Amino acid sequence: MTTAFLFFAALMLVAALAFVLVPLLRGRAATDAADETRRKLKALETAKADGILTAEEYAAKRAALGEELLASAPTTATRTQSAFYSALAVALLLPAAAILLYRELGAPAALDPANLIARAGEEGEGHAGNIDAAIAQLAEKMKQDPSNAEGWTLLGRAYKSTQRFAQARDALKHAHDLAPDDGDIAVDYAEAIVLAGTDRRIQGEALALIEQAIKANPQNQKGLWLAGIADSQAGKYDDAIAKWNTLLPLLPPDSDVATSIREQIAQAQALRDGKPMPAPAVAGSSPTAPKAADDKQENTSGPHISVKVALDPKLKDKVAPGDTLFVFAKAASGPPMPLAIAKLTAAQLPASVVLTDAMSMMPQMKLSTFPQIIIGARISKSGQAIAQSGDLQTLSAPLPNTRGEPVELTIDQVVP
């Protein structure tokens, strides 16, 4: 909250108070009583001058009017005192109410669907429907305001955060149609297209949207990250590394995001050079940060699934050393997109891999997002992560993402 904002907010509050308080403090009741007395007195004088009232009648009525004025004086004082207390109450309560309303509704963070969903979820177990109700309410508002690009963007992000990717894609398409020059919306729309697709590859329209956003703003952080993933998926590791190296200086050096990017760069370098995949760094660490034992202990709380992969000897003749080996985790119940994936070669079998959140392809699809996961290993002739007929693979039974002991897999199946 900036100083300028506070200054202008204070001015607006003073203006609002003046608008409300001045009529209260002017003592309207007292003014009205005095005006009425003067009006009646003037009428009596006019009636006497016109001969309607005799001198005796005029004197009697004037005396009665004086008594009426005296009788109303205590009431007027009481009303004036009441007006003062009303004004005092307004002066105290109006600013407090304004601040409370701003904190609840006026803060920009209150418009974030992630916060909207978080608030709905904070009501505890038994209120799972609150999240859907909150999103449904937002969707209904957008029907009433279909030209609001920001609103459609918020709705699309809310759908993404709850893994309703097709609905997210449609909402963000609407937002992009309304604001085609907004790079952030374009990148969000591109991500939703990928998540709603069947192969989860960043290509075609999604890639074009990302490239257009980066062209308009070379420092579009999410665009650079997704563009690097697209290059890595296409085997263009040098291009991926270049994009992620462009992204790194834009991030806080000790942040978890920067750590993940450095890990992705290391993995891309290993894949490019045909070397074993590097072990993931501890979340939150950096090359320049001191690695205290307490910090390391604290930062290993995220899922780290150790996987040991071997090949069934009976399938040995079906494998060439240059075939691609994928080791991955996916949700036991949910979208088929990998939550974490490592790419090796069949020549590295038997292999050991540690799967972590840092190896996810999309921020909404991570090991920590899904409590039950399936671990798999696949040897691909085509180099594609999506299973093809003739690939060799194996899948584990569902297991918790907090599993401590290694998962041992033996590739012993042929994809029909």
**For the chain, what percent of residues have pLDDT higher than 70?**
60
- For 317-333, write each residue's pLDDT tens digit: 899 888 889 899 988 87
pLDDT band at residue 356 using 50, 70 and 90 as cut-offs? confident
Q: Which class would CATH give 134-273?
A: mainly alpha
DSSP H stretches of helix in 217-255: 221-233, 237-247
Q: What's the rounded mean pLDDT across residues 20-33?
A: 52
Predicted confidence (pLDDT) per residue in 248-273, tens digit: 999 888 877 788 788 888 878 887 87
pLDDT(280) > 60 = no
How far apart CA 379 and CA 387 sit, in angstroms, is 9
Distance CA 240, CA 50 (A): 103
What is the average pLDDT across 85-90? Answer: 52
Q: Which of 183-192, 233-242, 333-342 shows the lowest per-residue confidence on average (mean pLDDT)? A: 333-342
Task: Tell me the pLDDT tens digit for each residue of 88-144.
Answer: 554 555 555 555 444 444 444 444 444 444 444 444 444 445 667 888 888 998 899
pLDDT at residue 109, as a whole number: 42
Instruction: Give the helix/strand (H/E) hosting 156.
Output: helix 149-161
pLDDT of 190 strictly over 60: yes
Residues near 370 by beta carbon (within 8 Å), at least 6 away in sequence: 331, 332, 333, 334, 339, 401
Q: Which residues, including other chains, have CB under 8 Å from residue 150's CB and lie 6 or more apart?
A: 175
**pLDDT grade, residue 170 (50/70/90)?**
very high
Rounded CA-CA distance 160/267 in Å is 27
| Between 97 and 162, residue with greater pLDDT | 162
For residue 284, name the pLDDT band (cuts at 50, 70, 90).
very low
Model pLDDT, residue 239: 94
Distance CA 224, CA 105 (A): 33
Mean pLDDT score, 334-356: 85
Q: Which of 141-155, 158-172, 281-295 has the highest mean pLDDT?
A: 141-155
Task: Name the residue among 191, 253, 183, 255 with its Cα closest to residue 219.
Answer: 183
pLDDT at residue 390, as a whole number: 86
Say whether pLDDT at 400 is over 80.
Answer: yes
**What is the DSSP-derived secondary structure letter of residue 81?**
H
Q: Distance between CA 191 and CA 206 in Å, rounded?
A: 7
pLDDT of 74: 45
- What span, in angstroms and rounded, lies between the C-alpha atoms of 151 and 149? 5
Backbone angles phi, psi at 179, to 5 degrees: -135, 70
Q: Which residue has the higher pLDDT, 60 or 189?
A: 189
Backbone angles phi and psi of 310, in degrees to 5: -135, 165
Please indicate whether residue 116 or residue 148 has the higher confidence score (pLDDT).
Answer: 148
Contacts of 100 (CB under 8 A, 6+ apart): none
Beta bridge partners of 82: none
pLDDT digits (tens, 9 = 90+) for 198-216: 667 888 999 999 999 999 9
What pLDDT sits at residue 246?
94
What the block records as the tokens of 312 is: 């069934």
**Helix or strand or coil: residue 208?**
helix
Q: What is the mean pLDDT of residues 4-14?
A: 54
Give per-residue burial for 158-167: e unless 16+ CB within 10 Å, then b: bbbbebbbeb
Q: Are 395 and 376 in contact (CB under 8 A)?
A: yes
SS3 292: coil
Which one-letter amino acid corresponds to residue 205? E
pLDDT number for residue 47: 62
SS3 122: coil
On the question of pLDDT at 185 being above 80, the answer is yes
pLDDT exceeds cutoff 80 at 154: yes
Lowest mean pLDDT among 12-16, 24-28, 271-275, 368-372: 24-28
**Residues ≥6 apart with Cβ < 8 Å to 229:** 202, 240, 361
Q: Is 355 exposed, middle or buried (0-12, 13-18, 19+ CB in 10 A)?
A: buried
Secondary structure class of 1 (helix, strand, coil): coil
Question: How do the domains of the chain map onto residue ranges?
Answer: 9-106, 134-273, 302-414
Reported as a pLDDT band with limits 50, 70 and 90, residue 285 is very low
Mean pLDDT, range 323-345, rounded to an integer: 84
Which tokens in the block code for residue 295?
């910090």
Q: Are 87 and 93 in contact (CB under 8 A)?
A: no
Q: How many CA atoms lie within 13 A of 365 on its CB side?
A: 28
pLDDT the model gives residue 103? 45
Report, as an integer, the average pLDDT of 61-87: 53
